[in-house]
Chains A and B, each alone.
Chain A
């Protein structure tokens, strides 16, 4: 019998978690680890490993084929470019405390697409191979240039078989033209609600008038668009987090049950200052508090909550082919199926790359709308787009579920070939997958209830999380 290599990691409660390259996993103890690592497996070890999909007899038999299929289905296949993030203006009518670099003053000049840029954008979209496009408008506040948005949207509706639009807006000043734009059924709104009214005001709207304007526009948008077309996420300041209960209550009031918790993304000096304060550990503690509260609330019956990224990580553990989130997939080739196009016509592989370039840390632009994509730069980045051969990831039981974030590696470490284990990406996802597995192996009925909801089944059996004695 051949046993596929097993990666392992001690758990918080003294067991050892094992996983193979195709994402098959189980828990056992140190004695099994000794037997396995020293080549002294017993008959019952072999029986378990075979039944749990970690072994095969001969190449091409069904065990081998099933494993190969699962392995292959976990590799993300980047399709044609079909998702573009457009930044038609950098200007904004808010000045949020955490958004210094990705905005310009509302009255500033030279931060919008020119007529030439717009024409080049439309020519670029026209040249895409895909028949189905998703366009996300970011800013700045994109609705300040609703005229540009209208023209892009009108073109896409004509040019593509299917087209979907997302406006990332602060929902502040909405006139007739802005409402008309977001009223369309092919258009979705993504906004920020920073936890609760007090925090939203402190971090974003500052004055009574603007706070009132936002919340009444949010009410109106929910009424006009329905909750299905509006998503919102809170940006949390680890130094002054709003109480978890007040965030859930606020989101519940607006019928938003999937919450994507995100910490303030500090850049440059602010990042260095906060790193010293151990922001990661503090964020993880806050995050955990939110998740625990959601589990409590979900056990009470009625409407349920999920943390968007936790559910995504859970699904990546349980299933193959969960590659819809561009921040977590493997390999993660940049500049292939999605691109960011800035206000000045420059391309970026991710929004993070745009920010980093803006603060002058490093130039991660990959060409521009007038002269095309810089493929040699992309190729250089993409040489590191997989975690398959990374000397740290190779030993990590989470490798099959995890991904690669080249830009984040560069942002934090200044290099893409450094030890992965020291990157923020690695630390963040190690925390996430530790949490996923802790929950999967929990015997708490409340945890089971939430897991079942998040996995989309009536009940999540304990047998989903095998143990080998």
Chain B
């Protein structure tokens, strides 16, 4: 796994520091940059405005141009933005008002306002970076989120955002703000699990969530927001997929893409794995996914399969399954060693349970 934190020798500071790790010869190093001095065994030493910044197991070739956050008195530094990765996600909060059965990151009450650090991080981010914002539920702090987004897209015209939200908090009064964000700068990733309101509510464990979500979709549509609709395919909702596809074509024709997703075996997803996981590689199990994607794609709406290993997908649908598992939590199985499709494949989550997973894993 790629580390998202480094051990750091605590800095003598009172305030959190966001800084960018630069090579020794970086010609444009600025006042907020930490410039590489040299390696001391496993420790990389940087000059941070006169202070020594010592990161453990962070070779300069791996971390160059990364943006990190160092908190006062803490022995670890957070890698906010990894320059070499297409998967950078900033955690806005750990609070959430849903308790989705498959949640990979169960919510906590605790909340620290990280926006000031994110603002710095975006300013220091490498060119053209695509930044994810996640949680918890980011729109629980909607006003802060909007202010951050508006500032960021103005300060950095090259940076784009992908925001995961449960869509429970958009109001009519947000239309103007949302509409002021250019369509191609922010993609809202929003889950919908069923066309049956009660089933969606059961899965996200919040009564009334479906109806509230439908209201938010109408608001986002009027604002011209870009939407990635996300549906984790599980035992309880797989039979609904075709009807859900019809809902997508009639009520949600404005979405940018519909992502059908495989389950992640962590958080509540691990706890509920046996009740939820659908082995889509088993005979006929893929059929509702095939029909749902055929339906919306024939209607001109893009559909993709996220987190599906290619060998578990029928050949005709493999082109819909891009590599989506983030690099830091992705792995391959022994069976993958001889697979010719490995370079194009999502592979498996780090925490994929070999003994309770797909029956159809085989090298292609």
Query: Is the pair B254, A69 in contact by a Cβ cutoff of 8 Å?
Result: yes
Q: Closest chain A residue to B222 by CB distance? A: A65
Query: Is the pair B243, A319 in contact by a Cβ cutoff of 8 Å?
Result: no
Chain B residue contacts of A321, Cβ below 8 A? 300
* Stretch from B245-253, B269-277, B323-331, B343-351 contacting the other chain: B245-253
Contacts of B298-335 to chain A: CB distance below 8 A: 298-300, 314, 316-317
Given A53-B250, A458-B316, A460-B298, verify A65-B218 contact (CB < 8 Å): yes
Cα A457 to Cα B243 with chains together (Å) = 18
B361 interface hit (Cβ, 8 Å)? no
Given A66-B254, A69-B254, verify A458-B290 contact (CB < 8 Å): yes
Please, what's the 1-or-0 string for A1-40, where 1 marks a CB less than 8 Å from any CB in chain B?
Answer: 0000000000000000000000010000000000000000
Please, what's the 1-or-0 string for A151-190, where 1 marks a CB less than 8 Å from any CB in chain B?
Answer: 0000000000000000000000000000000000000000
Cα A333 to Cα B60 with chains together (Å) = 61
Contacts of A430-469 to chain B: CB distance below 8 A: 452, 455-461, 463-464, 466
Instruction: Select which of A319, A459, A463 is within 8 A of B242 by beta carbon.
Output: A463
Cα A60 to Cα B215 with chains together (Å) = 9
Instruction: Select which of A53, A65, A455, A459 is within 8 A of B249 by beta carbon.
Output: A53
Q: How many residues of B contact A (CB 8 A)?
A: 30
Chain A nearest CB from B240 CB (Å) reads 12
Query: Is the pair B294, A461 in contact by a Cβ cutoff of 8 Å?
Result: yes
A277 interface hit (Cβ, 8 Å)? no
Cα A64 to Cα B253 with chains together (Å) = 12
Contacts of B188-241 to chain A: CB distance below 8 A: 195, 214-215, 217-218, 221-222
Chain A residue contacts of B252, Cβ below 8 A? 62, 66
Cα A463 to Cα B222 with chains together (Å) = 29
Cα A27 to Cα B364 with chains together (Å) = 43
Please, what's the 1-or-0 string for B171-199, where 1 marks a CB less than 8 Å from any CB in chain A?
Answer: 00000000000000000000000010000
A196 interface hit (Cβ, 8 Å)? no
Query: Is the pair A52, B290 in contact by a Cβ cutoff of 8 Å?
Result: no
Given A66-B221, A70-B253, verify A320-B300 contact (CB < 8 Å): yes
Chain B residue contacts of A60, Cβ below 8 A? 218, 222
The prevalent SS among residues of B at the interface is helix
B297 interface hit (Cβ, 8 Å)? yes
Q: Closest chain A residue to B172 by CB distance? A: A60
Instruction: Select which of B218, B250, B298 is within 8 A of A456 by beta carbon.
Output: B298
Chain B residue contacts of A52, Cβ below 8 A? 246, 250
Chain B nearest CB from A1 CB (Å) reads 14
B261 interface hit (Cβ, 8 Å)? no
B295 interface hit (Cβ, 8 Å)? yes
Query: Is the pair A463, B246 in contact by a Cβ cutoff of 8 Å?
Result: yes
Instruction: Select which of B214, B217, B222, B251 is within 8 A of A53 by beta carbon.
Output: B251
Query: Is the pair B290, A459 in contact by a Cβ cutoff of 8 Å?
Result: yes
Instruction: Select which of B243, B249, B294 is within 8 A of A458 by beta carbon.
Output: B294
Cα A442 to Cα B145 with chains together (Å) = 51
A-B contact pairs, 15 of them (CB 8 A): A51-B243, A53-B246, A62-B221, A65-B217, A65-B251, A67-B250, A70-B253, A320-B253, A321-B300, A457-B297, A457-B298, A459-B290, A461-B291, A461-B295, A463-B295
Q: Other than the known A452-B294, A458-B317, what 9 A-B pairs have Cβ atoms closer than 8 Å?
A: A24-B250, A67-B250, A456-B297, A456-B298, A458-B316, A459-B294, A459-B316, A461-B242, A463-B245
Q: Please give the residue numbers on chain A whose beta carbons come within 8 Å of chain B beta carbons, in ascending order.
A: 24, 51-53, 60-67, 69-70, 73, 315, 318-322, 452, 455-461, 463-464, 466
Q: Please give the residue numbers on chain B whose beta carbons come within 8 Å of chain A beta carbons, in ascending order.
A: 195, 214-215, 217-218, 221-222, 242-243, 245-247, 249-254, 290-291, 293-295, 297-300, 314, 316-317
